[in-house]
């Protein structure tokens, strides 16, 4: 009998995945305690009046053929995460860890089923939708001199380019707790993160105790969509950012990251859609 068709090998595979995830979670917790990092914390008296970067993203986006209920329920998860992150300050040398601050998303803590991607398919999971928060944090941080020390790229391109305002691949995925977003303050200034969830948008800002003296432009190079042998499409690019003084003088042009993702829609159909 072909053992690949029996449930036992599948159970063993699922068990290996769970054990692997447990090992990675424990390793991450150990790193938080022994890695020598100083972490961001709330400092109510810290004055950070100068706006450096802000951004907002819509809470709901239509996925073709998918129920919007999971996107609506993720708003609860975003509100809970925003409450833990809003008002955190980064003193010089400190690090912001998304998962260390937010904690494990569980039912007991109020998190609900939201949209997640599992092996290229839309599914539900407790705490689903929090990657919208890490997407926003990553994009805002790229428009500051703060240093992104850990970021995981999305493995799937979910939404067509209609109404896209950012380059492909300019977000950051997350999975508790070993796929984290971490930001370190290598500047001599103190920074404060502001986040809120309105009725329609997730909104955020980075402010500092020193006025903004430069601006940033994030752009893509080497963009390519490939038709694959298995019938789908993949998408690839590299991201760079130009740094300008406030009078427009270019100060630098920096490599940011590269991206590779499986497309969850057919780009040929999107191009011909009315």
DSSP labels, 162-185: TT--S-TT---B-BTTTB--EEE-
pLDDT at residue 110 in the model: 94
Spell 4-39 as b/e; 16+ CB within 10 A means b: eeeeeeeeeeeeeeeeeeeeeeeebeebeeeeebee
d(CA 97, CA 99): 6
Residues 6 or more apart whose CB falls under 8 angstroms from that of 85 comprise: 98, 101, 102, 133, 137, 193, 195
Q: Say how far apart CA 86 and CA 190 lie, in whole Å.
A: 15
pLDDT for 272 equals 46
Cβ atoms of residues 224 and 213 within 8 Å: no
Query: Is residue 177 a contact partner of residue 25, using CB atoms and an 8 Å limit?
Result: yes
> How far apart are the C-alpha atoms of 271 and 23, rounded to whole Å?
44
The predicted pLDDT at position 215 comes to 97
Query: Per-residue pLDDT tens for 60-95?
Result: 876 555 567 777 789 999 999 999 999 999 999 999
User: Which residue's structure tokens are 């839309």?
Assistant: 122
- Residues (pLDDT < 50) of the chain are 1-3, 5, 272-274
Long-range contacts at 102-108 (CB < 8 A, ≥ 24 apart): 102/130, 104/176, 104/177, 105/77, 105/80, 105/81, 105/130, 105/176
At 122 the pLDDT is 74
The CB density around residue 156, as the number of other CB atoms within 10 Å, is 16
Integer Rg of the chain from CA: 20
Query: 215: buried, middle or exposed (CB in 10 Å: 19+, 13-18, 0-12)?
Result: middle
Q: State pTM to two decimals.
A: 0.91
Gap between the Cα atoms of 133 and 155, Å rounded: 17
Pairing relation of β-strands 121-126 and 113-118?
antiparallel
198: CB partners within 8 A, 6+ apart: none
DSSP 119-142: TTEEEEEETTTTHHHHHHHHHHHT
* The residue to which tokens 């709901």 are assigned: 60
At 169, list the tokens.
């691949």
Token pair recorded at residue 177? 């707790």
Task: Say if CB 232 and CB 221 are below 8 A apart.
Answer: no
């Amino acid at each position: 009998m072909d053992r690949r068709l029996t449930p036992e090998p599948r159970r063993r595979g699922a068990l290996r995945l769970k054990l692997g995830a447990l090992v990675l979670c424990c390793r991450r917790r150990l790193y938080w305690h022994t890695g020598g990092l100083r972490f961001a914390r709330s400092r109510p008296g810290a004055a950070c009046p100068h706006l450096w970067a802000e951004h907002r993203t819509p809470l709901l986006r239509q996925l073709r053929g998918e129920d919007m209920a999971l996107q609506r329920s993720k708003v609860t998860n975003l509100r809970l995460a925003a409450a833990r992150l809003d008002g955190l300050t980064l003193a010089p040398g400190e690090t912001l860890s998304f998962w260390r601050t937010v904690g494990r998303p569980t039912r007991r803590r109020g998190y609900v089923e939201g949209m997640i991607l599992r092996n290229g398919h839309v599914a539900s999971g407790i705490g689903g939708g929090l990657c919208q928060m890490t997407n926003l944090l990553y994009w805002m941080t790229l428009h500051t001199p703060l240093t992104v020390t850990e970021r995981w790229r999305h493995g799937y391109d979910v939404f067509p380019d209609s109404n896209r305002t950012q380059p492909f691949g300019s977000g950051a995925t997350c999975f508790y707790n070993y796929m984290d977003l971490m930001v370190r303050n290598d500047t001599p200034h103190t920074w404060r993160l502001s986040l809120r969830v309105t009725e329609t948008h997730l909104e955020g800002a980075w402010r500092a105790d020193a006025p903004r003296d430069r601006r940033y432009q994030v752009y893509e190079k080497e963009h390519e969509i490939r038709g694959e042998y298995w019938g789908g499409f993949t998408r690839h690019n590299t991201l760079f950012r130009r740094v300008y003084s406030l009078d427009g003088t270019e100060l630098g042009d920096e490599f940011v990251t590269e991206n590779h993702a499986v497309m969850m829609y057919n780009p040929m159909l999107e191009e011909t859609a009315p």
